[in-house]
A and B are shown apart, each in its own frame.
Chain A
Amino acid sequence: MIFEIKGISFSYNSKPVLQELSLTLNAGEILGLIGPNGSGKSTLLKCMDNILKPCAGCILVDGKMLNEMKRETIAKKIGFVPQREGSRFPSTVFDAVLIGRKPHITWKPAEKDLKITTEIIKKLNISDIAMRDLDAISGGQRQKVFIARALVQEPEILLLDEPTNNLDMRHQLEVLDIVKKQTQTGVSAVIAIHDLNLAGRYCDKLVMLYNGCIFAAGGPEILHPDNIKPVYGVQASVLTHRGKQYVIPEYPE
């Protein structure tokens, strides 16, 4: 699956959020979207899932226009894990994952839907909490549940909006390992992420956004003090550890 974004722009109430942005994603790649708060990471992800519609430019999935595809067709190709999720009604973990099969369910879930759901639950190591209520589990477990939901969609592209937010170290690594493992089967992933070190470590490609434009794009080498300083307004040092780059923030400019 090749995902192409060609010159998209988006504005909220005539305030431009994304400006003529272009990028390409190949099968099996992990693309990290980095940039300060309000730089357009979440908006870009939502445009990629047709939740928001860009006012200019187009998005192509294997050469087909995303905005001309039906929602259900998109749901079978693209899985999205939003940033904040709230439900005021009770739901078991199993049901919260099973709903990922929604594009395939009309009246009631088929055996196949249940089978895929149980497999993913097992794979993500959340079997023990499968029958618990969503409110009765930890933030890290909940993030895994939402990723599990996106995975049972059997998507070719995973979009994750800050999946490591509010998670402890171990869960951060676990969550990103799950994504990494998934990309080995040819699934591609786009992750909006604040933690530059995790971004540099897990992503094949990085795109640094600044005020709705691409400031820098490339491999982890774009995590360079010369890029970080103008974008984040922070003087940083970059160290290399086991061949990966790590950013140490020094002081705000």
Chain B
Amino acid sequence: MAGEERILSGYKEQTGKKILFGLLFCLMLVLVIVVSVVLGSYSLPISEIWSALFFKGSDVTSNIIWNIRIPRILTAIVAGAGLSVAGAAMQSILKNPLGSPFTLGISSAAGFGAAFSIGILGAGTMHASTANAAIIINNPYLTTFSAFFWSLVATMVILFLAKYKGASPETMILTGVALGSLFTAGTTAIQYFSDDVRIAAIVFWTFGDLGRASLKDLGVMALFIIPAIFYFLVNAWNYNAMKYGDETAKSLGVNVDAIRIAGMLISSFITAVAVSFVGIIGFVGLVVPHIVRKIIGGNEMYLIPFSCVLGALLLLLSDIAARTVIAPVVLPVGILTSFMGAPLFIYLVIKGREYW
């Protein structure tokens, strides 16, 4: 009996640690949100920010806080959480540690879809506003739909490979690379035949930038991403079972094929939504789930929610860096995540199996 007590307490201690780390992530996220409200290319005294938060500040301060910084922060949280949870789900569903919207070519496909809608379907125009040049999309739903459609094409190729060719993780990533360059080539081709306004809009698209989403965009993003996160949470134990192999999962009562297709469709959809509102933000979806696995282990019950939190945290931190590194110039955060993510990706490949 004593032995059983010991195993059980060992397990509970481990679970407690996981939750503790998760809470720590949440705490850090709150701190970073605060820092993010305070920091910006236009410096504001804390007291003014404080009053602006309660709608008592000057118009300028209120405008900066409520129309620029807070939408930006919320966008980072929603996009970061969405991309990370999509990556975590794809990795488990495909049993592929290198899976993510970016490495499987799905982000590029979505980016191509956005370019396709701007360049060929005529969904967007360039519009210079007072502070920053901003892209105004006349018809954001057309862009989202087009991004989703093309990301679906990439997803289908990956799913086909996974199912009928029993593709190894390496094959899948190679295919992802091929798909990525194919869609990038497509995007370039569209640019070549577009006028300069559209080229600007498309190029802007390929650098993910959090500043372009309005509060309304944010609402639409949240509307799709939050239920998707919930879906992944509900399926956490199915993914846990699938990790051990399809046959084991089936024998444990998991409807493997249906869950794999649904999961891939939903994660592609999240990617498409994120890409169509903020552009391509690479590597977040790949790296975040690995960091979480490294810190708290592979149980999906914790991996999924904490990937969301850490994804939000990481993207927000990257955005702070993007806004302050060479202030007053604001870098698109997509450039920064790629600069940080690519070396981390190479590190993962080199470390190989011992890491995951």
Structural contact, A131 and B240, CB atoms closer than 8 A:
no
CB < 8 Å: which of A49, A108, A114 contacts B250? Answer: A49
CB < 8 Å: which of A51, A72, A91, A103 contacts B243? Answer: A91
Q: C-beta contact mask, A50-74 vs B, less than 8 Å → 1, else 0?
A: 1100000000000000000011111
**Which of A77-85, A167-175, A187-195, A244-252 lies on the face that meets chain B?**
A77-85
Q: C-beta contact mask, A71-114 vs B, less than 8 Å → 1, else 0?
A: 11111101110101111111110111001101101111000001
List the A side residues contacting B96 at CB < 8 Å.
88
Q: What's the Cα separation between A132 and B353 when bound, in Å?
A: 16
CB < 8 Å: which of A71, A88, A131, A149 contacts B356? Answer: A88
Contact count A vs B, C-beta below 8 Å: 114
Q: What's the Cα separation between A118 and B11 when bound, in Å?
A: 10
Does B344 touch A at the CB level, under 8 Å? no
**Which of B21-29, B117-125, B291-299 lies on the face that meets chain A?**
B291-299
Does A130 touch B at the CB level, under 8 Å? yes
Q: Which residue of chain B lies nearest to A134 when distances are taken between CB atoms in the complex?
A: B244
Structural contact, B7 and A94, CB atoms closer than 8 A:
yes
List the A side residues contacting B8 at CB < 8 Å.
114-115, 118
Does A122 touch B at the CB level, under 8 Å? yes
Q: In the complex, how many residues of chain A place their beta carbon closer than 8 angstroms to a beta carbon of chain B?
A: 47
Structural contact, A102 and B245, CB atoms closer than 8 A:
no
Structural contact, B245 and A74, CB atoms closer than 8 A:
no
Structural contact, B301 and A88, CB atoms closer than 8 A:
no
Does A153 touch B at the CB level, under 8 Å? yes
Q: Which residue of chain B lies nearest to A161 when distances are taken between CB atoms in the complex?
A: B247
Does B38 touch A at the CB level, under 8 Å? no
Q: Which residue of chain B lies nearest to A108 when distances are taken between CB atoms in the complex?
A: B301
Most buried by A among B238, B353, B356: B356
Structural contact, B298 and A119, CB atoms closer than 8 A:
no
Structural contact, B247 and A96, CB atoms closer than 8 A:
no
Q: C-beta contact mask, A148-170 vs B, less than 8 Å → 1, else 0?
A: 01100100000000000000000
Q: Which 7 A-B pairs have the closest CB atoms?
A: A75-B253, A80-B251, A72-B253, A102-B252, A71-B253, A89-B298, A118-B4
B298 to chain A, nearest CB (A): 4
Structural contact, A92 and B14, CB atoms closer than 8 A:
yes
In the complex, 13 of the A-B residue pairs with CB atoms within 8 angstroms, ordered by the A residue number, are A46-B247, A49-B251, A51-B247, A70-B253, A72-B253, A78-B251, A89-B243, A89-B298, A90-B356, A91-B243, A95-B299, A99-B237, A114-B8
| CB within 8 Å of A: which B1-36 residues | 3-4, 6-8, 10-11, 14
Structural contact, A102 and B247, CB atoms closer than 8 A:
no
Does B95 touch A at the CB level, under 8 Å? yes
CB < 8 Å: which of A84, A100, A122, A127 contacts B252? Answer: A100
List the B side residues contacting A106 at CB < 8 Å.
237
Q: What's the Cα separation between A52 and B169 when bound, in Å?
A: 24
Does B222 touch A at the CB level, under 8 Å? no
Structural contact, A51 and B251, CB atoms closer than 8 A:
yes
Q: What's the Cα separation between A107 and B231 when bound, in Å?
A: 12
Does B255 touch A at the CB level, under 8 Å? yes
List the A side residues contacting B175 at CB < 8 Å.
none
Q: C-beta contact mask, A116-128 vs B, less than 8 Å → 1, else 0?
A: 0011011000010
B204 to chain A, nearest CB (A): 37
Does B92 touch A at the CB level, under 8 Å? yes
Structural contact, A122 and B245, CB atoms closer than 8 A:
no
Q: What's the Cα separation between A143 and B149 when bound, in Å?
A: 44
Q: What's the Cα separation between A100 and B293 when bound, in Å?
A: 21
